[in-house]
Structure 1
Amino acid sequence: MSQSFNILKQPKPFYLIFFIEMWERFGYYGLQALLSVYLVRQLGMEDSDAFVTFGAFSALVFGLVAVGGYVGDNIFGTRRTIVLGALVMMTGYLLMAFSGHNVTIVYLALGTIAVGNGLFKANPSSLLAKCYEEGDGRLDGAFTLYYMAINIGSFFSISLVPYIAEYFGWSVGFMVSAIGLLVAVSNYFFMRHWVEDYGSEPDFRPVPWKTRGVLYLCVIAACGGSAWLLEHVQLANILLALISTGALVMFFREIMMASGGERRKMIVVLILMLQAVVFFVMYMQMPTSLNFFAINNVETHILGFTINPVTYQSLNPFWIMVASPVLAWFYNRNESGGGGLSMPTKFALGMLFTAVSFLVLPLGALWASEMGVVAPGWLVLSYFFQAIGELLISGLGLAMVAQLVPERLHGFIMGVWFLTSSTASVIAGHVAGFTAVGTGEAATPLATLPVYSQFFTNMGLISLAVGLIMLFSAHRLDRMISD
Structure 2
Amino acid sequence: METVQKAGHPKAFNMIFFLEFWERFGYYGLQAVLASFFVKSLGMDDAESFVVFGAFSAMVYGYVSIGGYIGDKVLGTQRTILLGAVTLMLGYTLMAIAGSDKSMVFLALGFVACGNGLFKANPSSLLSKVYQNNEAQLDSAFTMYYMAVNVGSFFSMILVPIVGGSYGLDLGFGICAAGLVIAILNFIFFRRLVKGLDSPVGKEPLSMRKFAVVVLGLLLAIFVSAWMLTNLMVAHWFLAIVGTGVFLVFFKMIFEAKGAERSKLIAAFVLIIEAIVFFTLYQQMPTSLNFFAIKNVEHSLLGMTINDPEVFQTLNPFWIMLASPILAWLYTHFGKKDQDMSMPGKFAFGMCLCAISFLILGFSAKFANAQGIVSVWWLVASYFFQSMGELLISGLGLSMISKLVPQRMIGFLMGAWFLTTAIAAVIGGWVATLTTVPKSVVDPLVTLPIYANVFNEIGIVTVVIAILMIATVPTLNRLINKKDRVEN
Equivalent residue number for residue 399 of structure 2: 399
| Range that drifts further, 295-304 or 150-159 | 295-304
Find the aligned partners of 1:48 and 1:103 in 2 and give their Cα distance.
17
1:171-207 per-position Cα deviation (integer Å, ceiling 9, x unaligned): 1111111011011111111111101121111221112
Does residue 250 (structure 1) correspond to residue 249 (structure 2)? The answer is yes
- Give the TM-score normalised by structure 1: 0.97
1:8, distance to aligned residue in structure 2 (A): 7.2
State the one-letter code of the partner of 2:264: K
Q: Which amino acid aligns with 1:233?
A: L
Q: Which residue of 1 aligns with 2:224?
A: 225
Is the 8 Å Cα contact of residues 355 and 463 (structure 2) preserved in structure 1? Answer: yes
User: 381-390 or 466-475: which moved more?
Assistant: 466-475
What is the rounded CA distance, in whole Å, between the counterparts of 1:307 and 1:381 in structure 2?
21
Distance, in Å, in 2 between the alignment partners of 1:85 and 1:130 is 19
Other-structure match for 1:285: 284
**1:12-65: per-residue Cα shift (whole Å, max 9, x none)?**
111110000001000000000010000001110010000000000000000000
- Give the superposition deviation at 1:306: 3.4
Q: Report if the CA contact (8 A) 1:29-1:154 is conserved.
A: yes
The equivalent of 2:347 in structure 1 is 347
How many Å apart are 1:136 and its aligned residue?
A: 2.5
What does 1:252-331 correspond to in 2, within 5 Å? 252-302=251-301, 303=303, 305-331=305-331
Instruction: Tell me the equivalent position of 1:69.
Output: 68
Displaced runs of 4 or more, over 6 A: none
Deviation readout 1:450-476 (Å, 9 max, x if unpaired): 000001101111111111111121011
Say yes or no: does 1:458 pair with 2:446: no
- Asked if structure 2 preserves the Cα contact closer than 8 Å seen for 1:265 and 1:481, the reply is yes
- Tell me, yes or no, if the aligned pair for 2:160 and 2:169 is still in contact at 8 Å: no
Q: Is residue 7–residue 329 contact of structure 1 (8 Å, CA) maintained in 2?
A: no
| CA–CA distance in structure 1, aligned partners of residues 73 and 205 of structure 2 | 13
CA apart distance, 1:100:
2.8
For the aligned residue pairs, the C-alpha RMSD in angstroms reads: 1.2
| One-letter code aligned to 2:159 | L
In structure 1, the residue matched to 2:486 is none
Give 1:299 shift: 0.2
Mapped contact 1:159–1:311 kept (Cα < 8 A): yes
CA distance in 2, matches of 1:399, 1:281: 20
Partner residue in 2 for 1:176: 175
Question: What is aligned with 2:373?
Answer: 373
- What CA distance in whole angstroms lies between the structure 2 residues aligned with 1:100 and 1:313? 24
* Structure-to-structure mapping, 1:147-158, within 5 angstroms: 147-158=146-157
Number of the residue aligned with 1:420? 420
**Residue of structure 2 in register with 1:118 after alignment:** 117
Match in the other structure for 2:212:
213
1:7–1:328 CA contact under 8 A, matched in 2: no
SS at match of 1:437: coil
2:434 partner letter: F
Q: Which residue of 1 aligns with 2:468?
A: 469
> 1:48 aligns to what?
47
| Cα pair 2:92 2:108 within 8 Å, conserved | yes
State the partner residue of 1:25. 24
* C-alpha separation in 2, matches of 1:421 and 1:19: 23
* Corresponding residue number in structure 2 for 1:333: 333
Instruction: State the partner residue of 1:3.
Output: none
Mapped contact 2:300–2:376 kept (Cα < 8 A): no
Aligned residues of 2:143 and 2:396 also touching (Cα < 8 A): yes
What amino acid does structure 2 have at the position aligned with 1:275? E
Tell me how far apart the structure 1 counterparts of residues 270 and 113 of structure 2 sit (CA, whole Å): 27
Q: Structure 1: how far apart are the matches of 2:133 and 2:259?
A: 19
Distance (Å, rounded) in 2 between the aligned partners of 1:198 and 1:393: 27
| Aligned residue type for 2:200 | E
Shift of 1:7: 11
Shift of 1:340: 1.2
After superposition, what is the alpha-carbon deviation per residue over 1:146-170, rounded to whole angstroms, capped at 9, x for unaligned?
0000000000000111010001112
- Measured in 1, the distance between the counterparts of 2:297 and 2:279 equals 24
1:134 offset after TM fit, Å?
Answer: 4.1
Verify the 8 A CA contact 1:365 1:449 in the aligned structure 2: yes
Give the Cα separation in 2 of the matches to 1:135 and 1:183: 30
Distance between the aligned counterparts of 2:191 and 2:438, measured in 1? 49
Write the distance in 2 (CA, Å) between the matches of 1:8 and 1:311: 37
Structure 2, gaps ≥5 residues long: 483-488
- Correspondence for 1:387: 387
What is the DSSP-based 3-state SS (H/G/I as helix, E as strand, rest coil) of the residue aligned with 2:135? coil
Q: Does 1:167 align with 2:173?
A: no
Residue 129 of structure 2 corresponds to 130
CA distance in 1, matches of 2:400, 2:15: 22
- The AA in structure 1 aligned to 2:313 is Q
Range with bigger deviation, 23-32 or 473-482? 473-482
CA distance in 1, matches of 2:403, 2:132: 11
- Note the C-alpha offset of 1:318: 0.2
- What amino acid is the match of 1:407? Q
* Distance in 1 separating the partners of 2:253 and 2:146: 28
- Give the AA of the match of 1:43: L
- Give aligned pairs, total: 477
Q: For residue 312 of structure 1, what is the amino acid of its counterpart?
A: F
1:42 aligned counterpart, secondary structure: helix
Alpha-carbon distance between aligned partners in 2 of 1:13 and 1:306, rounded to the nearest angstrom? 39
Q: Shift of residue 336 of structure 1?
A: 1.4
